[in-house]
A and B are shown apart, each in its own frame.
Chain A
Amino acid sequence: MKFLSDKTIEHLREAAEIPDLTGTRYRLLERVARGGMGVVYVAEDEKLQRRVALKVLDVPCADGDLANRLVREALVLARLEHPGIVPVHDVGTLADGRVFYTMKFVQGPRLDQYIEPVASLTDRLRIFLRICDAVAFAHARGVLHRDIKPANIMVGPFGEVLVMDWGLAKLLHGDVPSHSQGADPDATIFEKPGQPADSSGAAKTMVTGHGTVMGTPGYMSPEQARGDVEHLDARSDIFSLGALLRFLLTTDSKAADTAAEKRRLDKALGAICTKATAAIPSDRYSSVQELALDVSRYLDGLSVAAHRESLFERLTRFYRRYRFFILLIAAYLVMRVLILYLMHR
Chain B
Amino acid sequence: MREERFQPGDDRFPPTRRSVIEAVRSIDAEERERALESLCAAYWKPIYKYIRLRWNRPADEAQDLTQGFFIEVLERELLEKFAPKKGRLRTYLRVCVDSFVSNEDKAGRRQKRGGNVAHVALDFAAAEEELGGAVMDPAAIPSPESLEEFFEKEWLRSLFSLAVEELHQFCVARERERTFRLFEAYDLEGHDKISYEQLAKEYAIPVTDVTNALAWARREFRRITLARLRELCGSEEEFHREARAAFGAELK
A interface residues (Cβ-Cβ under 8 A, vs B):
1-4, 6, 8-9, 11-13, 15-18, 20, 22-23, 34, 39, 58-60, 62-63, 66, 95-97, 200, 202, 205-207
- Determine how close the nearest CB of chain A comes to the CB of B228; give it in whole angstroms: 13
- Assuming the contacts A1-B123, A3-B126, A16-B221, asked whether A62 and B14 have C-beta atoms less than 8 A apart, the reply is yes
- Determine how close the nearest CB of chain B comes to the CB of A84; give it in whole angstroms: 30
B249 touches A202 (CB 8 A): yes
A207 touches B237 (CB 8 A): yes
Interface residue B5 (Cβ < 8 Å from any Cβ of A): no
- Determine how close the nearest CB of chain A comes to the CB of B181; give it in whole angstroms: 13
A95 touches B9 (CB 8 A): yes
Interface residue B138 (Cβ < 8 Å from any Cβ of A): no
In the complex, besides A2-B164, A22-B8, 15 extra interface pairs with C-beta distance below 8 angstroms are A1-B161, A2-B188, A4-B157, A4-B160, A12-B160, A13-B247, A20-B219, A39-B248, A58-B247, A58-B248, A60-B12, A62-B16, A96-B219, A205-B237, A207-B237
Tell me which of A9, A22, A34, A62 contacts B215 (CB under 8 A).
A22
A11 to B226, CA, bound (A): 17
- Determine how close the nearest CB of chain A comes to the CB of B82; give it in whole angstroms: 20
The 0/1 profile, CB within 8 Å of A marked 1, for residues 198-227 of chain B is 000000000000001001001101110110
- Determine how close the nearest CB of chain A comes to the CB of B104; give it in whole angstroms: 28
- Determine how close the nearest CB of chain A comes to the CB of B45; give it in whole angstroms: 9
A60 touches B218 (CB 8 A): no
- Determine how close the nearest CB of chain A comes to the CB of B149; give it in whole angstroms: 12
A58 touches B240 (CB 8 A): yes
- Determine how close the nearest CB of chain A comes to the CB of B47; give it in whole angstroms: 16
A-B contact pairs, 9 of them (CB 8 A): A1-B126, A2-B161, A11-B187, A12-B221, A16-B218, A58-B248, A60-B14, A95-B219, A205-B237
A66 to B236, CA, bound (A): 11
- Determine how close the nearest CB of chain A comes to the CB of B117; give it in whole angstroms: 16
A-B residue pairs, 3 tightest by C-beta:
A95-B8, A23-B8, A17-B247
- Determine how close the nearest CB of chain A comes to the CB of B152; give it in whole angstroms: 12
- Determine how close the nearest CB of chain B comes to the CB of A191; give it in whole angstroms: 14
B226 touches A1 (CB 8 A): no
> What are the residues of chain B within 8 A of A60 when measuring CB–CB?
12-14, 223, 226
A206 touches B16 (CB 8 A): no
Chain A minimum-CB-distance residue to B187: A15
Chain B minimum-CB-distance residue to A62: B16
> What are the residues of chain A within 8 A of B12 when measuring CB–CB?
60, 95-97
Tell me which of A13, A15, A200 contacts B246 (CB under 8 A).
A13
Count the A-B residue pairs with Cβ separation under 8 angstroms: how many? 101
- Determine how close the nearest CB of chain A comes to the CB of B146; give it in whole angstroms: 14
- Determine how close the nearest CB of chain B comes to the CB of A211; give it in whole angstroms: 16
Tell me which of B14, B129, B188, B225 contacts A16 (CB under 8 A).
B225
- Determine how close the nearest CB of chain A comes to the CB of B225; give it in whole angstroms: 7
A34 to B34, CA, bound (A): 36
Interface residue B130 (Cβ < 8 Å from any Cβ of A): yes
Complex interface residues of chain B between 104 and 123 (CB less than 8 A to chain A): 123
A4 touches B9 (CB 8 A): no
- Determine how close the nearest CB of chain A comes to the CB of B40; give it in whole angstroms: 14
A58 to B226, CA, bound (A): 11
B248 touches A2 (CB 8 A): no
Chain B minimum-CB-distance residue to A31: B248
Chain B minimum-CB-distance residue to A96: B219
The 0/1 profile, CB within 8 Å of A marked 1, for residues 116-145 of chain B is 000000010010011000000000000000
Chain B minimum-CB-distance residue to A22: B8
A59 touches B215 (CB 8 A): no
A200 touches B161 (CB 8 A): no
A23 to B126, CA, bound (A): 42
> What are the residues of chain A within 8 A of B130 when measuring CB–CB?
3
B249 touches A20 (CB 8 A): no
A22 to B6, CA, bound (A): 10
Chain B minimum-CB-distance residue to A65: B236
Tell me which of B8, B218, B241 contacts A18 (CB under 8 A).
B218
B247 touches A11 (CB 8 A): no
- Determine how close the nearest CB of chain B comes to the CB of A135; give it in whole angstroms: 29
A8 touches B188 (CB 8 A): yes
> What are the residues of chain A within 8 A of B74 when measuring CB–CB?
none
A23 touches B9 (CB 8 A): yes
A2 touches B165 (CB 8 A): yes
The 0/1 profile, CB within 8 Å of A marked 1, for residues 152-184 of chain B is 010011001110110000000000000000000
Tell me which of A1, A16, A22 contacts B222 (CB under 8 A).
A16
> What are the residues of chain A within 8 A of B162 when measuring CB–CB?
1
- Determine how close the nearest CB of chain B comes to the CB of A285; give it in whole angstroms: 36
A1 touches B249 (CB 8 A): no
- Determine how close the nearest CB of chain A comes to the CB of B230; give it in whole angstroms: 8
A166 to B87, CA, bound (A): 29
> What are the residues of chain A within 8 A of B25 when measuring CB–CB?
none
> What are the residues of chain B within 8 A of A11 when measuring CB–CB?
187, 191
> What are the residues of chain A within 8 A of B187 when measuring CB–CB?
8, 11-12, 15
Report which residue of A8, A59, A206 has the largest number of chain B beta carbons within 10 angstroms of its beta carbon.
A59
Tell me which of B6, B153, B248 contacts A17 (CB under 8 A).
B248
The 0/1 profile, CB within 8 Å of A marked 1, for residues 1-40 of chain B is 0000010111011101000000000000000000000000
